[in-house]
Structure 1
């Protein structure tokens, strides 16, 4: 690593070739860049490269101090050590010029609502998926909030949960994590898709789960999603429709909020046959692109399908 870096080199856009490198953009960022460059529907955005966190921690030898806190910590000491590491990250001055470059990139996106998402460099390998171990911040509005959310993503890389997970995988010494900033959707419906049946390992069918609004209602456990099994051609084989009384949506002031669903909406199927067919067709494209079965996050906004993530199905 060279001793000095121009802060503009710490930002990469989804359509930059370099952004497909997970060592630069992390697992999530690299996946989104590959989708974008393949011409697939992705909310556009940029990545604060993994090197930015490393450079920021070099100030005051914080990199060495964080590494020292974590690498020799016993399981009992890990919670306190993780908290100390997070404090070092939160107080570290940003590498020179990075704040201006992030703000400039956010302005190029139109200064609207964005999702700020952690993207660890060890994330989403087929043998050890780190997905979900770090934080995501939705419907972030304004340059000050974007900068704060980037730093909070970095800090989440050193949360007790994330540190414990990485300690089990032997990757505590790797302090590289990128951050994705992309246009925030306001979807009518969202969910996940497995391009193989993850339980039965059947390659002839796909499994799709869907909720009204943002997919965070599934992550939080607040809502039981609809569950669909479809053929690879998108023909519905089985549907388990769940009554959904609540949805998570973008809040006017930023962030998200829970809203009550009209019973007629909450009790109906989330996805139409046509939408299921669109998802199945997209699933086949993703398998062809990545060369393996995929675990996909998706959303429909204004009846258009968007991809939010695609990663290998893990055991």
Structure 2
């Protein structure tokens, strides 16, 4: 179905590091672009501006062709497709959990469907109610980030300040496999508190009895974790130091507080998402 939106209206996808205009590509993409340009370890990907996403959702033939050309250069098997709505991942609104993420997307048809689903998730009743509570005007404008899917040994989240009491320490949660096990609350993750000088003041093993892993045919599956790894800590001193260093580098690039999603592929640390912390207790 052709051109409800012509190519003169939308711009073709760009490499993620070039997606610096938040008004086109949204907060998630623009922050990952800044991270990549600063040399932080961001997986390769592309960014789709919100008008282009609308064109894909409208089955615009030229937009669909441009999408598939742009992703042809991404190596490996599956892709991660995430929302980067305008106003998302800002200091006042994270939209965490409101918008869909599609992992291990495979093939041109799967990619097209994933982009549509991510866009549609921003129009769900819950997401629209969240927008209304924040006083955000107008309809959602949903840009999209498409990246090579990483297959980590472990992954999780990091806050540069304790989100509960405002303490000036790093709070890290980790589990085996993809980070979805942590962010979706599927397991009790390992919990760490680390001072900014590197001293570890708490490490508590979680109950990590399942892992989210890429499924051979696409998508993900929940697989049992071997018994000897359920209570084994994911992060040793070297990995904790790598996370502390990544946090310090993000503070240099972005300033303020850091809410990071990360993954270790072997001993290589990757930055998957970065946003300022929202709703945290004030420092004390």
- Report the TM-score, using the length of structure 2 for normalisation: 0.92
| Matched residue, 2:241 | 277
The alpha-carbon distance between structure 1 residues 146 and 53, as it changes in their structure 2 partners (threshold 3 A), is closer
Name the CA distance, whole Å, in 2 between partners of 1:308 and 1:7: 30
| Contact 1:154/1:177 (8 A) holds in 2 | yes
Name the CA distance, whole Å, in 2 between partners of 1:181 and 1:54: 15
| Matched residue, 1:168 | 133
Name the CA distance, whole Å, in 2 between partners of 1:47 and 1:133: 20
The alpha-carbon distance between structure 1 residues 131 and 245, as it changes in their structure 2 partners (threshold 3 A), is closer
Give the CA deviation at 1:202: 2.2
Structural RMSD (CA):
1.7
Name the CA distance, whole Å, in 2 between partners of 1:257 and 1:292: 36
| Contact 1:118/1:134 (8 A) holds in 2 | yes
SS at 1:20 equivalent: coil
Q: Does 1:185 align with 2:150?
A: yes
SS at 1:227 equivalent: strand
Within-5 A mapping of 1:43-122: 43-54=43-54, 93-110=58-75, 112-122=77-87
Query: For 1:119-170, what per-residue CA distance to the aligned partner results, in whole angstroms no more than 9, with x for missing partners?
Result: 1101122122223211000001111100110011111111111111112122
Q: Does 1:210 align with 2:174?
A: yes
SS at 1:305 equivalent: strand
| Matched residue, 1:27 | 27
The alpha-carbon distance between structure 1 residues 111 and 228, as it changes in their structure 2 partners (threshold 3 A), is closer
Comparing both structures, which one devotes a greater share of its residues to helix? Answer: 1
How many residue pairs get aligned? The number is 275
| Contact 1:42/1:308 (8 A) holds in 2 | yes
| Contact 1:193/1:297 (8 A) holds in 2 | yes
Give the CA deviation at 1:10: 3.0
Unaligned runs of 5+ in 1: 57-91
The alpha-carbon distance between structure 1 residues 228 and 270, as it changes in their structure 2 partners (threshold 3 A), is same
Unaligned runs of 5+ in 2: 280-284
| Matched residue, 1:131 | 96
| Matched residue, 1:254 | 218
SS at 2:143 equivalent: strand
Name the CA distance, whole Å, in 2 between partners of 1:106 and 1:4: 20
Query: For 1:29-79, what per-residue CA distance to the aligned partner results, in whole angstroms no more than 9, with x for missing partners?
Result: 1111111111111111001111224556xxxxxxxxxxxxxxxxxxxxxxx
- Report the TM-score, using the length of structure 1 for normalisation: 0.83
Name the CA distance, whole Å, in 2 between partners of 1:95 and 1:292: 41
CA radius of gyration, larger in: 1
| Contact 1:243/1:267 (8 A) holds in 2 | yes
| Contact 1:52/1:95 (8 A) holds in 2 | no
Counterpart selection for 1:223 from 187, 195, 203: 187
